[in-house]
């Protein structure tokens, strides 16, 4: 690990100022569950680490207008325990599947949303695009956990965030502060994510000197939701695929629907056509299966990850059925 300057602001304004002093050479420390590993492997080599732990405004869940506001430093354990999030079933589904105690206690909402890819080519020093001498190591090598959607370009990793699909399906917005001292913006969470075309681009739309401070969720009173992740183990593991569904029903018929897949593309993948196919329909095994087929109709698996297509279909179907209480583990 290389030497670095350590800074610990006590307010959002101080944090923005510390980032503005060295916008290209500073990184944020939230829970630190991933950053320390990246720094040890020299994949990230900042000259300044800005530790946000003392910024109290970035913690906790509180009512906000017709929704709730969640601080970026809120831990996964706090997400699980908050009574204000009790009705956001899809979000709790994900938080409860993260069973590694160290991640539950130290991992934060903001850290999860901004995680860098778990792609082993990136983690071994070949950049976000996994390139060597101008050739894609992913396309020609072991790509069993890589993208099956949105992978026609150079980026073939999958978005690492586990919470983003559920939050996007709910219509969450993200508050971004900086780079000016009093500058803040609220935008739909899906706009945070980008698919890089070159090795110099990142995985989010954040500019130097900006960071995620909060996530806003709309009221949950009339909606039904669920998430389903396919996991190989029950410990410190990442899903091979995931799906989150959020529905507004009128009687037994779907009035509004959102379906978002995770770990299948470089960004959280919105299955808009699949969601639209449910409008005016009841959620049944047939309609859920049909939506799952539509969601994966454009999948382009790589040489070693074709199995993920069927897993993703199953995840979509089960998330939909689970959201209305029709899945008990057997369909």
DSSP string, 263-330: SSSSS-EE-HHHHHTTBTSB--HHHHHHHHHHHTTT----TT-THHHHHHHHHHHHHHHHHTT--SS-
pLDDT at residue 107, rounded to an integer: 83
Task: For the sheet with 173-177, list strands across it.
Answer: 61-64, 67-71, 211-218, 173-177, 184-188
pLDDT at residue 331, rounded to an integer: 47
pLDDT at residue 221, rounded to an integer: 82
Give backbone dihedrals phi and psi of 261, rounded to 5 degrees, phi first: -100, 150
The residue ranges of the chain whose pLDDT is under 50 are 330-331
pLDDT at residue 116, rounded to an integer: 92
pLDDT in tens, 39-66: 888 777 888 889 898 999 999 999 998 9
Q: What's the predicted TM-score (pTM) here?
A: 0.94
pLDDT at residue 328, rounded to an integer: 63
């Amino acid at each position: 690990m290389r030497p670095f300057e350590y800074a610990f602001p006590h307010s959002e304004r101080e944090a923005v100022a510390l980032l503005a002093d060295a916008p290209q050479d500073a990184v944020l420390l939230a829970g630190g569950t991933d950053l320390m590993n990246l720094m040890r492997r020299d994949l990230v080599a900042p000259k300044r680490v800005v530790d946000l732990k003392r910024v109290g405004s970035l913690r906790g869940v509180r009512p906000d207008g017709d929704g709730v506001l969640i601080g970026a430093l809120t831990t996964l354990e706090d997400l699980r325990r908050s009574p204000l999030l009790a009705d956001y079933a899809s979000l709790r589904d994900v938080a409860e599947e993260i069973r590694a105690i160290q991640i539950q206690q130290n991992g934060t909402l903001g850290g999860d949303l901004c995680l860098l890819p778990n792609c082993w080519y990136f983690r071994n020093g070949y950049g976000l695009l996994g390139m060597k001498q101008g050739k894609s190591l992913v396309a020609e090598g072991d790509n069993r956990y890589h993208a099956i959607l949105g992978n026609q370009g150079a980026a073939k990793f999958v978005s690492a965030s586990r919470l983003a699909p559920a939050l996007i399906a709910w219509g969450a917005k993200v508050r971004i502060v900086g780079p000016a001292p009093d500058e803040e913006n609220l935008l739909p969470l899906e706009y945070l994510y980008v698919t890089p075309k070159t090795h110099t681009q990142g995985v989010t739309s954040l500019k130097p000197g900006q960071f995620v401070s909060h996530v806003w969720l709309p009221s949950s009173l009339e909606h039904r939701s669920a998430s389903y992740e396919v996991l190989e183990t029950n410990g410190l593991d990442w899903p091979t695929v995931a799906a989150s569904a959020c529905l507004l029903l009128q009687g037994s018929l779907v009035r509004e629907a959102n379906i978002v897949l995770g770990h299948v593309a470089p960004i959280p993948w919105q299955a808009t056509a699949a969601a639209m196919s449910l409008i005016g329909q009841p959620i049944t095994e047939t309609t859920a299966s049909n939506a799952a087929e539509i969601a994966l109709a454009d999948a382009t698996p790589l040489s070693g990850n074709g199995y993920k297509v069927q897993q993703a279909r199953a995840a979509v179907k089960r998330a939909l059925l689970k959201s209305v209480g029709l899945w008990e583990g057997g369909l």
